[in-house]
Amino acid sequence: MYHNMKRTILLLAGALQAVLLFAQTAQPPATSDLPEQPKPKANNLLEAFEQGHFHGSFRTFLMTTDNARHLSDYHALAAGGSLHFASSPWHGFSFGLGGVFNYNLASSDLGAKDSITGAVNRYEIGLFDVQNPKNRKNLDRIEELWLRYQWKKSLITIGQQSLQTPFVNYQDGRMRPTAESGAWLEISELKNTKIEGGYLWKISPRSTVEWFGVGESIGLYPKGLNPDGTGSGYPENLESMGIGMLGITRQWGKRTKIQVWDQYVENIFNTAFVQADHTHPLKNKHKLLFGLQLTHQDALSHGGHEEVSKTYFQKGGQSNVISAQTGWEHDSWQALAAYTRVTSDGRFLSPREWGREPFYTFMARERVEGSGDSHSITGRLNWQNKNKKLRFEGAYGHFYLPDVKNAALNKYAFPSFQQINLDARYAFGGMFEGLRVHFLYVWKGRLGEVYGNDKYVINRVDMSHFNLIFNYTY
């Protein structure tokens, strides 16, 4: 542990020293996921670094999965942290650098196959390295290394960074988030309007330690099935020059917000996404909430590869998704009901390596990605105390998917299921300021037919899943 931590610190220090010695052009503010800090303007390059600020975190994560009685159970305890630096602006430029380190303190054998089904671990391995279940210590990564230029309310960032968009996002539910390498522009000069977009050429997915080209990043997680039922052959066979994205967010008055996004994955597929959210005030501070999302996808060229068995998105394929939400809010309470329909036009596909799906029915530890002709219905109740330090959320959902043998519309052969999530979070104050604890319990019960085959059950349904996380940020 000591030698890996030492290596991470030396990598961070070495990169910072290299910039100090050779950078003649300047450097950017902290990435968008870090808290805003005062940024005194520097008179020279040295002051830009002297007046910069550090931000870091430590995380301990205990995760266990209790499968059906005769199937394998799993557990893992992970610990790690991060260290980030951002310089002060100098002539509008600033520089950022950040890295993470992570250790497997204790776990079951995450590379072992279940004796009955041959299935491998699904959840706990995500705390470490999905490419190498035996990797317990070499889990560090330079996550941020960027140059930014800011003018007025707008900025452009080039390099390694972490973005939050509908389909490329942190999905920070493990030990480290997904990160991207590219150029990203944010324009906020227009009143009540934000325009953002850019081009990404590399991705380091959550639960990995390396950086990958866009094509090779797809398929690091379980690959699922081709529409004809054979195993998907796209891992390591997709070619793409990168991802182009454009998003426009407009606030209409005080009550309505509209987002429009387009994600163009060169040579593979295109996704268009629209979301509108509206708040309607009632008497005595009560509010009604409404939301609507529309998603449309089209294959590009051959969908990633000329051979049908090795492509990601079938040539000529498409998908359509409608998601809607309504709810009520008053003081510390919020109640929401949501519905998502993936039509029978085709499977909704979005690389899980890049982020979680944005639909209103999303519940932690499961997704509807890979399905077509599916229906999702969820209800949730949220409460937080007045100082917002204590928060509870309870959610219940029914997810109706095509039959597990219908590979054309059920990529991962997942049975229909019901799910309960219980989520509790507390932020400490006083002498423990910066410490937060998070508990998540997930139960999933089977609704669909599995034909007596436990490979459709293990790590999917008839299971309980526990998470206890301690986060400290400074």
- CA-closest candidate to residue 206, choices 255, 153, 256, 168: 168
Which of the four pLDDT bands, split at 50, 70 and 90, describes residue 337?
very high
Convert the pLDDT of each residue in 132-184 to its tens digit: 999 988 899 999 999 999 999 999 999 999 999 999 999 878 998 999 999 99
238 φ, ψ (degrees, to nearest 5): -95, 140
From CA 257, how far away is CA 356, in angstroms rounded? 21
Helix (H, G, I), strand (E, B) or coil at 458: coil
Whether 120 shows a pLDDT value over 60: the answer reads yes
Average pLDDT over every residue of 400-419: 98
Q: Tell me the CA end-to-end span of the chain in Å, nearest whole number.
A: 22
- CA-closest candidate to residue 233, choices 116, 306, 312: 312
Which stretches of 150-236 are DSSP H helices?
214-217
- CA-closest candidate to residue 219, choices 306, 349, 315: 349
Side-chain-facing half-sphere of 222: CA atoms under 13 Å: 16
Convert the pLDDT of each residue in 414-441 to its tens digit: 999 999 999 999 999 999 999 999 999 9
Q: What is the pLDDT at residue 39?
A: 58
From CA 401, how far away is CA 413, in angstroms rounded? 9
Q: What is the pLDDT at residue 6?
A: 36
Q: Which DSSP string corresponds to 319-362?
A: EEEEEEEEEEEETTEEEEEEEEEE-TTS-----TTT-----TT-
Q: How far is CA 166 from CA 44, 278, 323, in A?
A: 38, 18, 13
- CA-closest candidate to residue 243, choices 259, 222, 261: 261
From CA 418, how far away is CA 363, in angstroms rounded? 11
Residue where the block lists tokens 């596909």: 349
Q: Is the dihedral of CA 303, 270, 183, 132 positive or negative?
A: negative
From CA 204, how far away is CA 176, in angstroms rounded? 10
Which of the four pLDDT bands, split at 50, 70 and 90, describes residue 12?
very low
Percent of the chain with pLDDT over 90: 89
Q: What is the pLDDT at residue 2?
A: 35
- CA-closest candidate to residue 411, choices 462, 372, 460: 372
- The token pair that represents 432 in the structure block: 């423990």
Convert the pLDDT of each residue in 36-51 to its tens digit: 444 567 889 899 999 9
Q: What is the pLDDT at residue 8?
A: 36
Q: What is the pLDDT at residue 30?
A: 36
When the pLDDT of each residue in the chain is averaged and rounded to a whole number, the result is 92
Convert the pLDDT of each residue in 70-94 to its tens digit: 999 999 999 999 999 999 999 999 9
Average pLDDT over every residue of 261-273: 98
Q: Are 382 and 402 in contact (CB under 8 A)?
A: no
Beta bridge partners of 300: none
From CA 55, how far away is CA 234, in angstroms rounded? 39
pTM, entire model: 0.89
- The one-letter amino acid code at 362 reads F
Helix (H, G, I), strand (E, B) or coil at 1: coil
Q: Are 167 and 244 in contact (CB under 8 A)?
A: no
- CA-closest candidate to residue 324, choices 390, 255, 260, 278: 278
- CA-closest candidate to residue 89, choices 142, 36, 14, 161: 36
Q: Are 129 and 103 in contact (CB under 8 A)?
A: no
- The token pair that represents 285 in the structure block: 């501070």
